[in-house]
Copies of this chain bind each other. A is one copy, B any other.
């Protein structure tokens, strides 16, 4: 499996992805799922990928080929991030269809985010069917892959006014929760932070399986979560919080 998440705030974008790929539980490999594209000073993109590895590699190769061959439509000629989502969706559907006769699932999903000069920074989720969605003020994040374990903390914490550092910390805790509950999501963990209007992808970090920071993150969150639990008022069963039914 895979877990990738992107967050948009007023301060810019955050991208976090794991690197574990598996075809069956005994065939586990490590592949980066974060791909960065840049050209000149007017546009920066980060692409996160989930799903069939042949399909995601095929899509990324096609994106690079279109740039190298100066195709009329490529990431460097598009007018907006939503156009990039449409373009990636079309390539994705074509890649998936290449092998569909065999009946196996070759689906892939992507998150494309970044900024093109003249517009705000944005993120889009591209589905296997080629259609796509973006965020809202109430849902400032997008997930692909195994998103449920890491959703609860983001639903509680993320708001559009957070700093990039706070949003990144929340996304990292979301990643840690997912790794803690699902063995098929694992390091290296890649993080990209894109400050709005910076047109710089310099803030890129990679934490491998020996990372002291990942260990400290888990220890701290585990400790803080247990303290939070221990500070909860006990369930006041006996004192009639509610009309307690006893149907015996």
Asked if A40 CB lies within 8 Å of chain B CBs, one says no
1/0 contact string of A59-93 vs chain B (CB within 8 Å)? 00000000000000000000000000000000000
Q: In the complex where A221-B232, A224-B231 touch, is A205 in contact with B153 (Cβ < 8 A)?
A: no
B157-A211 in contact (CB<8A): no
Residues of A within 8 A of B (CB-CB), count = 53
A234-B203 in contact (CB<8A): no
Number of copies: 2
B220-A224 in contact (CB<8A): no
Give A172 to B248 CA distance when docked, in angstroms: 22
Spot the interface stretch: A107-115, A119-127, A239-247.
A239-247
Contact among B180, B213, B216 with A152 in the assembled complex (CB-CB below 8 Å)? B180
Residues of A within 8 A of B (CB): 148-149, 151-153, 155-157, 165, 168-170, 172-173, 177, 180-181, 201-208, 211-213, 216-217, 220-222, 224-229, 231-237, 241-242, 244-248
A244-B206 in contact (CB<8A): yes
Contact among B149, B204, B216 with A246 in the assembled complex (CB-CB below 8 Å)? B204
Give A211 to B245 CA distance when docked, in angstroms: 12
A213-B236 in contact (CB<8A): yes
Contact among B177, B207, B221, B229 with A157 in the assembled complex (CB-CB below 8 Å)? B229
Query: Which residues on B sit within 8 Å (CB–CB) of A226?
Result: 156-157
A152-B172 in contact (CB<8A): no
Give A231 to B157 CA distance when docked, in angstroms: 13
Give A206 to B244 CA distance when docked, in angstroms: 6
Q: In the complex where A201-B248, A248-B202 touch, is A232 in contact with B173 (Cβ < 8 A)?
A: yes
Q: In the complex where A152-B152, A204-B247, A227-B228 touch, is A242 in contact with B177 (Cβ < 8 A)?
A: no
Query: Which residues on B sit within 8 Å (CB–CB) of A168?
Result: 235
B180-A155 in contact (CB<8A): yes
CB A34 to nearest CB in B, in angstroms, measures 10
Given known contacts A206-B244, A207-B242, what 8 new A-B pairs fall within 8 Å (CB)? A151-B181, A153-B225, A156-B222, A169-B232, A202-B248, A220-B232, A221-B232, A224-B228
CB A188 to nearest CB in B, in angstroms, measures 9
Give 11 A-B contacts (CB < 8 Å), ordered by A residue: A149-B149, A149-B152, A151-B181, A152-B181, A156-B222, A156-B225, A173-B229, A201-B248, A205-B242, A213-B241, A213-B242
